[in-house]
């Protein structure tokens, strides 16, 4: 169990402060990664409402008495290791508080519409004058420049317009249609790009003493991480289509029905194909001139997939998995999420951490997958209640008195 108040291990980013002006997923995902690596993250939320995702339920977090709270499971997925302060940025006193915190921070993360924060004196140019060492990272739908800079955007529309949905789902001839991924992967990947960009900027600052502005668009990120599919088009000249679970450049690399379910086969080289053909009881396939090397198998995809499918349905999933795994063939079951967390491997790798939550008591949280030898990921705080740390931050970080804090609350600044 992880005690939310204990921090005996220092993370790699210990001593780095992040002022997090983001909400929903891309920005909070980035700041949670930085927080996991040891950064102090101050999450700024709107008074009374907080991060949009607090209301994106059900399911809802339940308190110690078993009653539903107003915090969704969605919010809990991206806001670990943060302190929450409520600030009304449109209030002059509120924007002043945010500026004062920015002056005392190493990084500002924001995902407002382009130009919004400049109205409150919280744009990059404003804060750079006050803190030249500040790293200012903006995450938006389409970036800070260009004809779409003013457009709003959410994950699903970015998955669609950025190309991902055109290669996700079963092909038309099999009754398929474009599909989005089962999680907000455009948001998550933009958050990952943002986190790595901040880390790079911190390294640069350690050498030059200068901060910088970082522009991370969801759309550009989505296009960028299409990886081999992008190059398939740029080199081959044809737009890739939907192949269901199949791979455009490797065969066999897809899900197959078995006698009692499905499994996922992922053959990555010719040696593995030879081993697979032996397990399948069809060693002849490995010497068939149509399938000798991967390029042959890609050209003759339809014929090979049909032959494999005819054999795979003859045995149970478990039998195939046992034999192929022993032979070094990359293959796996198609688990649902409940099965993922109930497998012994989940406990072996400690994929779930339990945090102390002020309302719920013990709260499960999915572990960061990175393992450091010297600066371990830390699990210091459960996702905060809205404004849970407002008074603490104002008094400790800005030195405000209880009377000053009371007046700010009365004015609607916090």
**Residues carrying an active site annotation:** 187
211 in Cβ contact with 133 (< 8 Å): yes
245 in Cβ contact with 254 (< 8 Å): yes
Segments in 82-143 forming alpha helices (H): 92-103, 124-130
Strand 82-86 vs strand 40-45: parallel, antiparallel, or unpaired? parallel
Place of tokens 């005996």: 8
Residue 382's nearest CA partner among 90, 107, 69, 152 is: 69
Residue 37's nearest CA partner among 374, 383, 397, 392 is: 374
Element (H, E) at 72: strand 68-72
Helix 92-103 and helix 402-411: axis angle, to 10°? Answer: 130
Long-range contact list for 316-319, CB < 8 A, 24+ apart? 316/258, 316/259, 316/260, 316/261, 317/258, 317/259, 317/260, 317/261, 317/262, 317/263
Element (H, E) at 365: strand 361-366
Residue 8's nearest CA partner among 384, 397, 376 is: 376
CB atoms within 10 A of CB 13: 24
User: CA–CA separation, 411 vs 407, rounded Å?
Assistant: 6
Residue 70's nearest CA partner among 49, 85, 86, 87 is: 49
- Over its C-alpha atoms, the chain yields an Rg (Å, rounded) of 25
3-state helix, strand, coil in the chain (%, to 5): 40, 15, 45
> Could you tell me how many helices (H) and strands (E) the chain has, helices first?
16, 13
Report the 3 state secondary structure along 19-42: EEECCCCHHHHHHHHHHHCCCEEE
Q: Which two tokens stand for residue 365?
A: 């949280």
């Amino acid at each position: 169990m992880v005690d939310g108040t204990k921090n005996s291990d220092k993370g790699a980013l210990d001593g780095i402060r992040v002022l997090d002006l983001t909400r929903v997923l891309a920005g909070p995902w980035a700041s949670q990664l930085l927080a996991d690596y040891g950064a102090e993250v101050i999450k700024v939320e709107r008074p009374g409402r907080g991060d949009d995702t607090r209301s994106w339920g059900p399911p809802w977090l339940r308190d110690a008495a078993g009653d539903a709270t107003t915090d969704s499971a969605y919010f809990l997925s991206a806001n670990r290791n943060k302190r929450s302060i409520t600030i009304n940025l449109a209030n002059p006193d509120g924007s002043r508080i945010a500026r004062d915190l920015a002056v005392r921070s190493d990084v500002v993360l924001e995902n407002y519409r382009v130009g919004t924060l400049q109205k409150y004196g919280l744009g990059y140019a404003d804060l750079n004058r006050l803190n030249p060492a500040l790293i200012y990272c903006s995450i938006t739908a389409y970036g800070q420049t260009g004809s779409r800079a003013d457009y709003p955007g959410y994950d699903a529309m970015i998955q669609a317009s950025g190309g991902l949905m055109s290669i996700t789902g079963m092909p038309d001839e099999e009754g398929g249609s474009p599909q989005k991924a089962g999680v907000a992967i455009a948001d998550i990947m933009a958050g990952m790009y943002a986190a790595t960009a901040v880390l790079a900027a911190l390294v640069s600052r350690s050498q030059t003493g200068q901060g910088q502005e970082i522009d991370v668009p969801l759309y550009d990120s989505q296009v960028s991480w299409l990886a081999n599919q992008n190059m398939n088009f740029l080199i081959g000249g044809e737009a890739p289509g939907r192949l269901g679970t199949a791979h455009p450049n490797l065969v066999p690399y897809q899900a197959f029905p078995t006698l009692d379910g499905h499994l996922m086969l992922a053959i990555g080289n010719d040696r593995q194909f030879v081993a697979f053909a032996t397990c399948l009881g069809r060693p002849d396939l490995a010497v068939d001139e149509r399938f000798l090397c991967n390029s042959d198998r890609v050209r003759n995809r339809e014929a090979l997939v049909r032959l494999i499918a005819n054999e795979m349905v003859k045995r149970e999933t478990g039998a195939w998995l046992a034999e192929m795994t022993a032979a070094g063939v990359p293959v796996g079951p198609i688990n649902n999420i409940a099965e993922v967390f109930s497998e012994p491997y989940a406990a072996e790798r400690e994929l779930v951490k339990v945090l102390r939550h002020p309302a719920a008591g013990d709260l499960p949280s999915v572990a960061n997958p990175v393992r450091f030898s010297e600066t371990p990921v830390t699990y210091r705080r459960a996702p905060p209640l809205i404004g849970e740390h407002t008074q603490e931050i104002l008094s400790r970080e800005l030195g405000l008195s209880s009377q000053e804090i009371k007046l700010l609350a009365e004015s609607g600044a916090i």
